Amino acid sequence: MSEYLEALRTVPLFRYALMAGVISSLIFGVVGSFVVTRRIGYIAAAIAHGMLGGIGAAIYYGRTYDLPWLTPTFGAVVSSLLFAGIIGWVSLRAREREDTIIGAIWAFGMAAGILFIQYAPGKNVNLESFLLGNILLTSKSDVIATIILGIVVLTLVGLFYHKLVAVCFDEEFASLRGVSSQLYYLLLLAITALSMVLLVRVAGIVLSLALLVLPAATASRFFRRLLPIIFVSVGLSLIYNTGGLVVSFQLDTPTGPFIVIVASVVYGLSFLVRRKGA
C-alpha cells in the first residue's frame, strides 16, 4: 500500500487514473441503475462495440487531414449518440427488427473501427487499449473530458429523474400521465451512450458493459426501489475502481479486467445471500 501511495504522490498518471475512476464511478452507478431497471443492457453493449467505428474514424481522418480537435473521445461521443438514436428509432418504430439492427451496429462498428485504425497514417495505434482499456494511461485532458461528460450526464439525470424513473418502471402509465415516454426513452439511450464513452478508458469496449451493469445488478438483488439501488451501485463502483487500482498495482495485473472479475465474483456471491422478503 505504501508503494501505491508513493506512486500516487510522485506520478501524475496515477492521480489522473484515481480521479477518473472516482468520477466515472458516480456515472456508472447512476446510469447503470437505469440500464438494469429498464433492461437495456444489450443496447448498451451494442453502442459500446459500435463506438469503435467512431474512434477509428476520428483517428484516421484526424491524422489524414491534420485535425487535432478530432480526437478519439470526440469520435466516440458522436458515434455512440448516433447509434443510440438509430437503435432507439428502430426500437420505437420497428420492434420486430430491433435485435437485427443491434447486431448490425455491433458488427459494423467493430469492423469499421479496426479498418480505420489499420490504415490510419502515422504511428501504430494500440487497439488493445480501446478493447480492454487501461485507466493508467489517463491523461489530464482525459480527466477534463471525464468531468465534462460526467457533469452533462448527472445534470440530465437530475433534471429529468422522475420522468426517467416513470419510463423505466411503467412506460404506459407515464404516457397516460402526459409524459412523452418515447422522448425520454431516447434521452435514456443518449445518457447511456455518453456513459459508455467514459467506460472505454477504464475497462475498454469489451469489458465496459460489465462495469456498467454489474454494480447495479448486485444492488438490485437486495433493493426494489431505484434510489437505494443507485446509492449502493455508486458505492460498489467506487470500491471496485479505487480498490481495483490499488490491488492491481500491487499484483501488477491489468486494472480493467481485474475490476470486472471482482465485480463479477461479487455479483455471483450475491445469489448465495438470502434476499430480504424472499
Superfamily of domain 2-269: ABC transporter involved in vitamin B12 uptake, BtuC (1.10.3470.10)
> Mean pLDDT across the stretch 194-222?
85
DSSP state of 273: S
Residue 97, pLDDT above cutoff 70? no
Q: How confident is the model at residue 247 (pLDDT cuts 50, 70, 90)?
A: confident
Residue for grid cell 443492457: 41
Residue 278, pLDDT above cutoff 50? no
What contacts 259, CB < 8 A, 6 or more positions away? 202, 203, 211, 240, 241, 244, 248
pLDDT single digits (tens) 137-153:
777 887 888 888 889 99
Please state, in angstroms and as integers, the Cα–Cα distance from residue 10 to each residue in 4, 29, 243, following that order.
10, 30, 19
Report pLDDT for 54: 95
> Mean pLDDT across the stretch 258-274?
88
- Measure CA 269 to chain center: 23
pLDDT single digits (tens) 71-96:
998 999 999 999 999 998 888 776 55
> In whole angstroms, what is the distance from residue 132 CA to residue 202 CA?
8
Q: Which of 54-63, 202-211, 219-228 has the lowest mean pLDDT?
A: 202-211
Residue 187, pLDDT above cutoff 70? yes
> Mean pLDDT across the stretch 126-146?
78
Whether 144 and 18 have beta carbons less than 8 Å apart is answered as no
Report pLDDT for 95: 57
Report pLDDT for 96: 54
- The residue with greater pLDDT, 98 or 158, is 158
Which of the given ranges, 8-12, 114-118, 210-214, has the highest pLDDT on average? 114-118
Phi, psi of 242 (to 5 degrees): -70, -45
Q: How confident is the model at residue 126 (pLDDT cuts 50, 70, 90)?
A: confident
Exposure string over 107-146, b if 16+ CB within 10 A, otherwise e:
eebbebbeebbeebeeeebebeebbbbbbbebeeebbebb
Task: Give domain limits for the chain.
Answer: 2-269
> Mean pLDDT across the stretch 143-166?
89
Contacts 24+ apart (CB under 8 A), 45-48: 45/106, 45/209, 46/83, 46/87, 46/102, 46/103, 46/105, 46/106, 47/80, 47/83, 47/84, 47/87, 47/105, 47/189, 47/192, 47/193, 47/196, 48/80, 48/196, 48/199, 48/200, 48/205, 48/208, 48/209
Query: Per the structure block, which three cell numbers stand in for 67?
Result: 485535425
Report pLDDT for 34: 95
Report pLDDT for 107: 93
Report pLDDT for 36: 94
Report pLDDT for 218: 95
Residue 40, pLDDT above cutoff 70? yes
Instruction: Supply the pTM of this predicted model.
Output: 0.88
Report pLDDT for 4: 65
Q: What is the mean pLDDT of the chain?
A: 86
Neighbours of 22 (CB within 10 A): 15
